[in-house]
Structure 1
Amino acid sequence: MARLFLLVLSVSVISAVRGEVFENFNQCNRFFFNGRPVLGLDIAMNTPKPHDGVTISKEELREESVKLYQEIYNILHNNNYKTDLLKACSQDNINVYTLLEHVKCGIDQVPVELNYIQSALDMVIQQCQDLSNLVTNDKLKAKLETIIQTSKEVKEKIQDFRNKPDSLKDPQEDLNICLSAYEAASPAYICQKYGDKPGDNYQFATLYDRGRRIPLYSAYKMDLTGNTKRTGVIKYYEPQLVHAGLDSEQKDVKKVKESLKKYNGDKNCNAKYLAYRERYKLRWSQATVDDFTSFDQGHLNPAGHHAEGDGSEATMTFTNVAPQSKKMNNEAWSKYEINLRKNYRDELAGDLNSVTFKNCDHLYVVTGVVPGNTWQFGRVNVPSYYWSAHCCTRMDEGPIQSGGAVCPNRDDGEVEEFDSVDELEVKLKTLIEKELHLKLNNPINIFDKCVPQLTRSKSLPSIPSDSIDPLKPKRPKEYK
């Protein structure tokens, strides 16, 4: 049984941090993970072991096939492509419109057997490849290439499902070397590294729950000046969650698999065993794109709180998202995120001592989730609530204002806002005790002295930053 501590973001040292990016890991580590747990927040959890839930299920295979069917349908019924398709089909006697029927029949057969869908995918790959060689419309060609790639990926998943051996791993191997994140501590402390500028580029920090395969919170500094970018594709993974010795920088799935293949070769890990295969290792260590079929990939640190560039792109990692209601994400929570930045950017007239004055030099945000009691495919926890806390500071005065919000992770979820982080902390304590059936003996303290006039409980001494490993942290002393 491992212990999880949600750590304090210490505002008392914020004024010493300049710029949006930390120059090295130790600086990021000291700032976000300074060894002081939030008072009273002590969530016990089990670190998962490799299990069948890591491999794709028939339910997931069917959903993947349905998405492919929809992509093919959209292309075949797009008037912009119809002329090019008919011309190409007549040149090579191809009847692409039968593809839909074959894929549909294959989908219907998935719960019983997989031969039909596999044959249908072979047909899709072959005919789309033939068409791609014939058409001249570049956009249509790109669409066909996407269909081909998606079909190959679904075929690979079917093969994994069929070839699942009785033994997950080779009992003769050194499990500590070959198994993904074998006996790694939970949670994982991640300083999110992204960017190709000289030196290290640590953009923000995430506390990642290995057992639930979701981030518990992401802490960051909001960009109040640049032009933001709210759109993007979640595509990056954290290699060091698979094996601690791998790269600490976010990578896309292709590069992660290349790293794992090289690792297996260097360490003599036989990939004939399922648990040593690249895709299995990745899915064991963290959530992947396959885990969000029924939910949005809900950002904790949103792209819209950063200027277009590395800061925004760094948020596009699966260690920064959790399953979120599509309606709640795109309506109530999205509105809150947009308004939070807008409100603190705007110049508001008023006395500097007024609680309505919101012009900040710096705005620090911690956004997290309350784990729930339901799971996606038995692998990834679906949070019951999303919450966010913020602290507004001025260079000459320090912290001047705080606030927060919480929202149920449901289609009908409504955002409840709080005028201070203290009020949010009281609400969070109630929600955590209710959802996780815990009794918290101490109050929750997300920020340290965000509002100077409020007296906080005394913190424990900080643990030196160089004693904290981001992936296997040493355990702080517990509060009594």
Structure 2
Amino acid sequence: MSQRKMLQFSTGALLLLLPWFGGLVLGEISDDFSQCLDFFYNETPPNGIPAAGYQPICQRYKNRYHFASLYNRQHRAPLYSAYILSTADGKRPNNTWKYEPQLAFSRASPEMRSFYGNPPDQNVIESQAVLQDYKNSGYTKGHLNPSMHQKTMEDREATFTLTNIVPQRAGSNAGPWNGLEKEVLGKFKAYCNGSMYVITGALPYVTERRINNRVSVPEYMWSAYCCPSYSSSLPKSMKNFFPTYAAVGRNDPNSGEEIVPVNVKVKASVRGYDVRRMSLETLEGILAQRLGIRISLFHGQCQ
């Protein structure tokens, strides 16, 4: 069985993660990302994540796939979203939030659907996050695939689905994490000659926390990119950032500093939301330690 057709199943890792995972949802969207492999480097999703407990979603909007997300229905949040980065045309869209009908009904439309004018029924509420979960929660809706990393208006609108969202503190979302997103975009424009494949995800607390007793809150955000074709005349300062680059950002100012240290000299509004830049290998080591599984984000380490 090829990596393209199935996420590798690891029995030992699954036993470690059973408290974390729920049942696999086998909707019509995708059970193995086969409809949207183009969003992964070498058409290969991350290796090492047990299939049980997660729903691969090929994010479809206006009859086209725009990116991919690996969703945990029990925790009503994605583990990651994978996409190809582009330079945005125009401003951030004023767009309505959406949900995934097939998480609630396997035979529903494969198109994401707007909450506006469509109050979610109980099956939708049970299967995924809804807008009410975020109301007065103290958390913003944090994009994994950010609107600024997508080109066309439709591409950007497609990112406004709650299956691409995790609860993120405003100090992170509008602060250092936003700075990282702009930094990655800048490196893409300046040095990447071809496609840049990005995977951005959430790292849960060791002891899980939720908003509204429903949606899992990440303790950290993480992101990595793969740019296999890049400028042959990189300045020395950029040598370590290609072909891969990664980062982990704090989503809790009170977390320990073993993964991401705190700079106490920054302004109070963003203090404790630091972002640590690192190699792809270092990020994969952190994910392995916290999730109990060995993960390879990019096939062949993007070589």
The structure whose Rg is larger is: 1
Share of identical aligned residues, percent? 33
- Which amino acid letter does the alignment assign opposite residue 206 of structure 1? S
Residue 299 of structure 2 aligns to a residue whose secondary structure is coil
Residues 343, 382 of structure 1: alpha-carbon distance in 2 compared, 3 angstrom cutoff: same
TM-score, normalised by the number of residues in structure 1: 0.46
- Out of 72, 91, 112, the residue aligned to residue 250 of structure 1 is 112
Residues 194, 218 of structure 1: alpha-carbon distance in 2 compared, 3 angstrom cutoff: same
C-alpha distance in 1 between matches for 2:181 and 2:219 = 18
Contact 2:142/2:173, CA 8 A, preserved across alignment = yes
C-alpha distance in 2 between matches for 1:36 and 1:303 = 22
C-alpha distance in 1 between matches for 2:126 and 2:186 = 39
Contact 2:200/2:223, CA 8 A, preserved across alignment = yes
Contact 2:98/2:112, CA 8 A, preserved across alignment = yes
Residues 287, 391 of structure 1: alpha-carbon distance in 2 compared, 3 angstrom cutoff: same
Matched with 1:288 is 130
Q: Which structure is higher in helix share?
A: 1
Contact 1:287/1:380, CA 8 A, preserved across alignment = yes
Matched with 2:277 is 417
Matched with 1:445 is 296
Task: Describe how 1:66-145 pairs up with structure 2 within 5 A.
Answer: none
Q: Which structure is higher in strand share?
A: 2
Post-superposition offset of 1:229: 3.4
Matched with 1:120 is none
Matched with 1:359 is 192
C-alpha distance in 1 between matches for 2:113 and 2:145 = 18
C-alpha distance in 2 between matches for 1:32 and 1:365 = 8
Matched, 1:324 2:168: yes
Residues 37, 345 of structure 1: alpha-carbon distance in 2 compared, 3 angstrom cutoff: closer
RMSD over aligned Cα, in angstroms? 2.9
CA deviation vs aligned residue, 1:374-404 (integer Å, no higher than 9, x gap): 111211111111100100022999xx61011
Matched with 2:290 is 431
C-alpha distance in 1 between matches for 2:225 and 2:46 = 18
Post-superposition offset of 1:202: 0.4
Matched with 1:335 is 179
Contact 1:229/1:307, CA 8 A, preserved across alignment = no
Matched with 1:368 is 201
Residues 447, 421 of structure 1: alpha-carbon distance in 2 compared, 3 angstrom cutoff: same
Matched with 2:156 is 312
C-alpha distance in 2 between matches for 1:36 and 1:322 = 20
Post-superposition offset of 1:430: 2.8
Matched with 1:391 is 226
Contact 1:229/1:303, CA 8 A, preserved across alignment = no
Task: Describe how 1:29-44 pairs up with structure 2 within 5 A.
Answer: 29=37, 32=40, 38-39=47-48, 41-42=49-50
Residues 256, 425 of structure 1: alpha-carbon distance in 2 compared, 3 angstrom cutoff: same
Contact 1:220/1:365, CA 8 A, preserved across alignment = yes
Contact 1:206/1:215, CA 8 A, preserved across alignment = yes
Matched with 2:264 is none
In structure 1, stretches of 5+ residues that fail to align are: 1-5, 9-24, 44-184, 258-277, 347-357, 433-437, 453-480
Matched with 2:265 is none
Post-superposition offset of 1:408: 1.7
C-alpha distance in 1 between matches for 2:93 and 2:144 = 14
C-alpha distance in 1 between matches for 2:163 and 2:132 = 14
Matched, 1:187 2:41: no
- Which amino acid letter does the alignment assign opposite residue 38 of structure 1? N
Residues 360, 410 of structure 1: alpha-carbon distance in 2 compared, 3 angstrom cutoff: farther
Post-superposition offset of 1:29: 4.7
C-alpha distance in 2 between matches for 1:449 and 1:370 = 23
C-alpha distance in 2 between matches for 1:205 and 1:392 = 18
C-alpha distance in 2 between matches for 1:394 and 1:306 = 19
Residues 287, 250 of structure 1: alpha-carbon distance in 2 compared, 3 angstrom cutoff: same
- How many pairs were matched up? 243
Contact 2:251/2:273, CA 8 A, preserved across alignment = yes
Matched with 1:300 is 144
Post-superposition offset of 1:186: 3.3
C-alpha distance in 1 between matches for 2:145 and 2:61 = 14
Residue 47 of structure 2 aligns to a residue whose secondary structure is strand
Contact 2:45/2:298, CA 8 A, preserved across alignment = no
C-alpha distance in 2 between matches for 1:401 and 1:393 = 5
CA deviation vs aligned residue, 1:293-327 (integer Å, no higher than 9, x gap): 32000000000001241111100001000101111
TM-score, normalised by the number of residues in structure 2: 0.72
Residue 36 of structure 2 aligns to a residue whose secondary structure is helix
Residue 148 of structure 2 aligns to a residue whose secondary structure is helix
Post-superposition offset of 1:30: 7.2
Residue 287 of structure 1 aligns to a residue whose secondary structure is coil
Contact 1:228/1:306, CA 8 A, preserved across alignment = no
